[in-house]
């Protein structure tokens, strides 16, 4: 099942009961986070918002599954290729340990080596 979040993100619930949340609003840990008030107002009525990165979370039955480093609820500044890989991992997992191992075995991305906002 797909769910939209006010044009600032989406979630996908899989048959295995896990959900991935992918958010890219100005309050999320993504490239849009550093927007000032005038930029937020200018994009408020946009039919399509975009971001170079997103914040992701994994949930089961509405509760966060702490699968990221330091047992965090969310992972920020994640690029689209990494989001796609994590979607594949989550959708095919049968338990949280498989998700954790799959994510930990991923090749490090530029965002992992240089965490933080990207301002272009």
pLDDT of res. 22: 97
| pTM of the model as a whole | 0.81
What DSSP assignment string belongs to 31-93? TTTT--HHHHHHHHT-S----S-EEEEEEETTEE---SGGG-SEEEEE-HHHHHHHHHHHHH-
pLDDT of res. 65: 95
**Tokens representing 48?**
């399509």
pLDDT of res. 75: 94
Mean pLDDT by 10 residues, the chain (120 residues): 87 98 88 70 64 94 92 92 96 96 80 54
pLDDT of res. 71: 86
Q: How far apart are CA 21 and CA 98, in angstroms?
A: 18
Domain extent listing, the chain: 2-113
Q: Give the DSSP H or E segment for 101.
A: helix 96-104
């Amino acid at each position: 099942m797909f769910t939209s979040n006010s044009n600032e993100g989406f979630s996908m619930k899989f048959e295995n009961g896990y959900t991935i949340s992918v958010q890219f609003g100005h309050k999320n840990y993504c490239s849009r986070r550093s927007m000032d008030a005038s930029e937020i107002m200018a994009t408020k009525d946009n039919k399509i918002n975009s971001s170079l990165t997103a914040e992701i979370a994994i949930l089961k039955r509405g509760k966060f599954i702490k699968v990221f480093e330091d047992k965090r609820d969310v992972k920020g500044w994640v690029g689209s290729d990494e989001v796609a890989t994590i979607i594949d991992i989550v959708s095919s997992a049968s338990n949280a340990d498989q998700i954790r191992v799959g994510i930990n075995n991923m090749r490090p991305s530029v965002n992992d080596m240089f965490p933080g906002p990207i301002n272009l």
